[in-house]
Amino acid sequence: MRRLWVSIALSLIAWPGAVALGLEPAEVLVVANENVADSVALAKHYATVRDIPPENIALIRTTGGYSIARPDYEKEILTPIRAFLARRTSDTPIRVICLMWGVPVRIEHMDRLPPPGLPRFYTAEAWRYRQRLSIDRKLMVRIGKRFPKTPVKKLEPLAKLFDKPSPTPPSRSPALAKLRKNIEIELAQAIEIVAALTDEQKQHIAGRQLLGMHLELYGLEGLIAYVDKHHPAELPDATAYRQPLATANAKIAELTAGDGPQTPDQARTLLAWHQRAKGALATAAYALVQMARTSLKRGDKGDASVDSELAMIGVGDYKKEGPLANPLHFFIAAQLGPRATGVIMTCRIDGPTAADARRIIDDSVAVERLGLDGVIYVDAGMPPRFQNKEGGGYVEFDQGLRSLGVILKKVSRMRLVMDLQPTVFPADSCPNAALYVGWYSLQSYVPAFQWARGAVAYHVASYEAMDLRNPKSNQWCPKLIQNGVVATLGAVNEPGLAAFPDQKPFFLMLLTGRYTVAECYWRTTRMISWQMTLIADPLYNPFKVNPHVNPKSLKTSDPRTKLLPDSDWPPPYRPPTTQPAATQPASSRPTTTSQPTN
């Protein structure tokens, strides 16, 4: 993301108190289960203390258990809530749906398997695209430095724009996230090199190399955007490329309609059009998404947390198997532009007991008035079991935690404790804990913390919300809530490491004091219709009166790294449309992985 987060520390001095820009109480829809008395009581209590209009409480009738079958979810939860929203007469839009304790947590899986051959095909393509991008990097360092003996006019194949010999593919390729980061940095350097050339002929050749590289990496979309912005002499106008882009996008829509490709040949055709429209970076990410989707085991097919699935309430027909890219994530939102996504924020106020859920409500309201204070704990230090694993994003994730600690130490007035050991914080070692993120103790909570009232905390491991309603469970989500945390998140099944929020932007956005926990989560979580659940009061803004990060320090001119949203945020509920942008796995999503976290 090209030094975006490092630069934050340079611009933090002092600034006026944060102005809350986010959610309003009248924009919250509260959903309770009429078959569970405590669920209805909690909804009424929450609406009262948060000044949510009583008419914003939707009562449904469904099971009071932890899980629900998908047909029952659609009949007893999804359809009644859609009908309730359709009957509303208020001009105030609904921007978040909050499920109360008593509404099921998990949708059970469907007994479906991917078409034969697709998992192996997408796995091979994901590897091939990483190699392709590694070769592109080798060509990129030649831009403006090495020139072909015979200049060519066409922008592809890319290798013909450079001197021979062509680079050879590496035996091993870095993870896609690392490739993307390096490519963005090196491409910016190449642009500067070309601009500094004084020889007119060399500058012309190098300019075409840049155009070819943009076409290769970002497809027709990226080439058109580059030309529209810079108007290079080698191609001052991109009109000739707009119709081919429209054709490519139409083919993508055609090939992903219904259940999408059913054979490797169909999938190969789709990837070719995808490469044409969106380039190698986006197509590599798309192949990874499909690899994760089609490689799911039978027991993982189509299951999801209820709130993650319910976020798709404004979307028409879409694929229920595996994750979709979250169009509210800041990176994906930049790719989609102002188009309506049909996706709405969701969360739940929940826990092992109704009393735990009520405490979340009361503590959130009380702490918000004075501001959350205490110690930040970040537990990095890659667990030994992950240290020798190829791929999976483990190294990058641990580096992200370390980077988070470095930045928080510079920008926040709160005390920071950083653990770099491969083991977790030991018992009774973390007093006055206000914020926490770390790994890794699978389904085994370690009582290291004395939680400050209003604490926000989550532990990165699989299955930590599978026993959310079990008071005797030792999983992290129920134990965090029982011990005083008011906002956490976790997985109802195996989510994959990439399903967790991007930790740096999540906490930095939260520390601005301008956004609620729900807004920060939905702006930084990469998967939807998937296994993660957010347990929090959606209106909870712990730093509203005592912000720690200057919002101006998070601004960037690069739309791909635009963390803070525009004024029309969060997006309001809109009824389903026939062809919504979010129904397909967004190719512009950040890198994902099918590697488990357990």
- Listing DSSP states for 124-162 in one string gives HHHHHHHHHHHHHHHHHTTTTT---SS--SS--SGGGGS
Please indicate, yes or no, if residue 1 is contained in any of the structural domains.
no
* C-alpha to C-alpha distance for 593 and 290, rounded to whole angstroms: 10
CA nearest 482: which of 375, 352, 381, 385? 352
Please indicate, yes or no, if residue 160 is contained in any of the structural domains.
yes
Q: Are residues 36 and 129 in the same domain?
A: no
- Token pair in block for residue 403: 């980077």
Q: Are residues 76 and 125 in the same domain?
A: no
Order of strands across the sheet with 67-68? 67-68, 106-107, 304-305
Backbone angles phi, psi at 450, to 5 degrees: -105, 110
CA nearest 398: which of 367, 366, 420? 420
Please indicate, yes or no, if residue 482 is contained in any of the structural domains.
yes
Q: Are residues 124 and 105 in the same domain?
A: no
pLDDT of 113:
54
> Among 290, 312, 339, which residue terminates a domain?
290
C-beta of residue 533 within 8 angstroms of C-beta of residue 53: no
Structural domain boundaries, residue 488: 6-112+323-583
Please indicate, yes or no, if residue 597 is contained in any of the structural domains.
no
- For 435, the enclosing helix (H) or strand (E) is strand 430-438
Q: Are residues 124 and 53 in the same domain?
A: no
* 498: CB partners within 8 A, 6+ apart: 393, 526, 527, 590, 591, 592, 593
* C-alpha to C-alpha distance for 47 and 40, rounded to whole angstroms: 11
- For 28, counting Cβ atoms within 10 Å of its Cβ (0-12 exposed, 13-18 middle, 19+ buried), the class is buried
Q: Are residues 181 and 201 in the same domain?
A: yes
Hey, is 437 helix, strand or coil?
Answer: strand
> Among 271, 290, 309, which residue terminates a domain?
290
> Among 290, 312, 335, which residue terminates a domain?
290
* C-alpha to C-alpha distance for 110 and 89, rounded to whole angstroms: 36
DSSP letter at 6 equals G
pLDDT of 558:
60
Helices marked H in 257-353? 264-294, 306-310, 330-336
* C-alpha to C-alpha distance for 455 and 464, rounded to whole angstroms: 18
pLDDT of 6:
31
What secondary structure does DSSP assign to 358-421, as a single string?
HHHHHHHHHHHHH---SEEEEE-S--GGGTT--STTHHHHHHHHHHHHHHHHHH-SSEEEEE-S
Q: Are residues 108 and 127 in the same domain?
A: no
Where b means 16+ CB within 10 Å and e means fewer, 518-553 reads bbbbbbbbbbbbbbbbbbbbbbbbbbbebbbbbbeb
Per DSSP, which regions of 193-307 are E strands? 304-305
Give the number of other Cβ atoms within 10 Å of residue 198's Cβ.
6
Q: Are residues 162 and 57 in the same domain?
A: no
Q: Are residues 210 and 355 in the same domain?
A: no
Hey, is 533 helix, strand or coil?
Answer: strand
Q: Are residues 108 and 131 in the same domain?
A: no
Q: What pTM was computed for the model? A: 0.68
pLDDT of 316:
83
Q: Are residues 208 and 282 in the same domain?
A: yes
Please indicate, yes or no, if residue 594 is contained in any of the structural domains.
no
Q: Are residues 125 and 107 in the same domain?
A: no
Hey, is 490 helix, strand or coil?
Answer: strand
Please indicate, yes or no, if residue 38 is contained in any of the structural domains.
yes
pLDDT of 461:
94
Please indicate, yes or no, if residue 527 is contained in any of the structural domains.
yes
pLDDT of 20:
42
Hey, is 501 helix, strand or coil?
Answer: coil
Split into its structural domains, the chain has a count of: 2
pLDDT tens-place values along the chain, 598 residues long: 333 333 333 232 233 333 445 689 999 999 999 999 999 999 999 999 999 999 999 999 999 999 998 889 999 999 999 999 999 999 999 999 999 999 999 998 765 556 778 888 988 898 899 899 999 998 888 888 888 877 777 787 877 878 788 788 777 777 787 888 889 899 999 889 988 888 888 888 888 888 889 999 999 999 999 899 888 888 878 889 999 999 999 999 999 887 788 889 999 999 999 999 999 999 998 888 888 777 655 444 578 999 999 999 998 888 887 888 898 988 877 766 555 468 999 999 999 999 999 999 999 999 999 999 999 999 998 877 777 666 668 888 999 999 999 989 888 889 999 999 999 999 999 999 999 999 999 999 999 999 999 999 999 999 999 999 999 999 999 999 999 999 999 999 989 898 999 999 999 999 999 999 999 999 999 999 999 999 999 999 999 999 988 887 777 666 556 777 776 677 888 878 543 334 344 333 333 333 444 4
Backbone angles phi, psi at 430, to 5 degrees: -130, 80
Per residue, the 3-state secondary structure of 389-403, as one string, reads CCCCCHHHHHHHHHH
Please indicate, yes or no, if residue 311 is contained in any of the structural domains.
no
Q: Are residues 342 and 249 in the same domain?
A: no
Backbone angles phi, psi at 285, to 5 degrees: -65, -40
- Token pair in block for residue 127: 């590897």
